């Protein structure tokens, strides 16, 4: 299993609207692509006066599914997010491979 993790720091002023948009639009749109089995939307518990930090984790069966998602959908979905929140966020992505799960 592969976890596609997106870490986002969102500005305080855009925070509430962004959380709502992520829950009702963006995450559902990513899931509708059919490449991911599940997702998690977690707040990172750090003190940061400039914004609030989140981890959005999408789980897929294998690297092939992730690569296909990236080739077919990622650019469009990321562009929608960037256009909507322009200078209100920073983000980075991490790939994890599940080695053991209990």
In the prediction, which pLDDT does 101 show?
85
> Higher-confidence residue: 101 or 42?
42
Q: Residues 7, 14, 88, 24: is their CA dihedral positive or negative? A: positive
For residue 92, the enclosing domain spans 2-97
Query: pTM of the full predicted structure?
Result: 0.94
Please state the rounded mean pLDDT for residues 25-49: 97
Is 70 in a helix, a strand, or coil?
helix
Residue pair 39/93 in contact by the 8 Å Cβ criterion: no
Does residue 102 fall inside a structural domain? no
Confidence of residue 42 (pLDDT cuts 50, 70, 90): very high
Reply yes or no on whether the pLDDT at 91 is more than 90. Answer: yes
In the prediction, which pLDDT does 1 show?
95
CATH of residue 79's domain is 3.30.70.100
The average confidence (pLDDT) of the chain is 97
Number of domains within the chain: 1
Query: pLDDT tens digits for 3-35?
Result: 999 999 999 999 999 999 999 999 999 999 999
Reply yes or no on whether the pLDDT at 57 is more than 90. Answer: yes
Residue pair 65/47 in contact by the 8 Å Cβ criterion: no
Instruction: Provide the Cα torsion 95, 73, 84, 49; round to 10°.
Output: -10
Does residue 18 fall inside a structural domain? yes
CB atoms under 10 Å from CB of 69, counted, come to 19
């Amino acid at each position: 299993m592969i976890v596609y993790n997106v870490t986002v720091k969102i500005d305080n002023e855009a925070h509430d609207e962004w959380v709502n948009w992520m829950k009702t639009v963006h995450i559902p749109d990513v899931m509708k692509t059919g490449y991911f089995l599940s997702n998690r939307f977690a707040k990172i518990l750090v003190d940061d006066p400039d914004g609030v930090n989140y981890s959005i984790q999408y789980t897929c069966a294998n690297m092939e599914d992730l690569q296909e998602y990236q080739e077919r959908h990622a650019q469009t979905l990321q562009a929608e997010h960037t256009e909507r929140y322009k200078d209100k966020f920073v983000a980075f992505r991490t790939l994890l491979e599940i080695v053991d799960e209990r």
